[in-house]
Amino acid sequence: MQLDSASGWCHGIRHCPSPNFNARPQAEVSLLVIHNISLPPGQFGTGKVQEFFQNRLCADEHPYFATIASLQVSAHFLIERDGAITQLVSCDERAWHAGQSRFAERDNCNDFSLGIELEGTDELPFTDGQYSALVELIRLLQERYPALTVERICGHSDIAPGRKTDPGPAFDWLRLRRALLNK
């Protein structure tokens, strides 16, 4: 996997471009936000997450879809249960993943962050494949964006407390930090 500095797209992984992005303001990428998602909730490998991020989710297919199909959201990356990484938005663009958010006295985290979605739920453990892929992706991103220190990697719940709970208590922060610090 390689990150093309000219385009902000990674080579060697799947691309599934989302229309839900816009130009990043003149802000250095200095925050990485980890999320979780599954569609329908608790079901994996359905392809519905990709459809959701491409505004192609059919509201009639599942009762839950009717509540979210009109939303326009995205993330930069999705890591599926088997560890497969898909890029949805260029790292040079602002993905719409954080919503109303605040980190280190700065609002609008989308302006200066990258978002990584893990296929999962708050309660179910994430897979070894997902942790391996996440560590590899973060190390690649840190090469391009040195401000993405371990201290500036957080969960959606950290930047939108009370509004968001992901990646949830099942996410092993200690495992991630240890892996990133043991190069």
Q: Of 51, 105, 117, 123, which residue is the catalytic one?
A: 117
Is 80 an annotated catalytic residue? no
The answer to whether the beta carbons of residues 64 and 40 sit under 8 Å apart is: yes
In whole angstroms, give the CA distance from residue 17 to residue 26. 22
The tokens 């385009």 sit on which residue?
7
Angle at 104 between CA 102 and CA 107, to 5 degrees: 30
Amino acid at 51: E
Measured CA distances, 120 to 3, 37, 62, 141, 145 (Å): 25, 5, 18, 22, 26
Place of tokens 């790292």: 91
- The catalytic site residues sit at 117
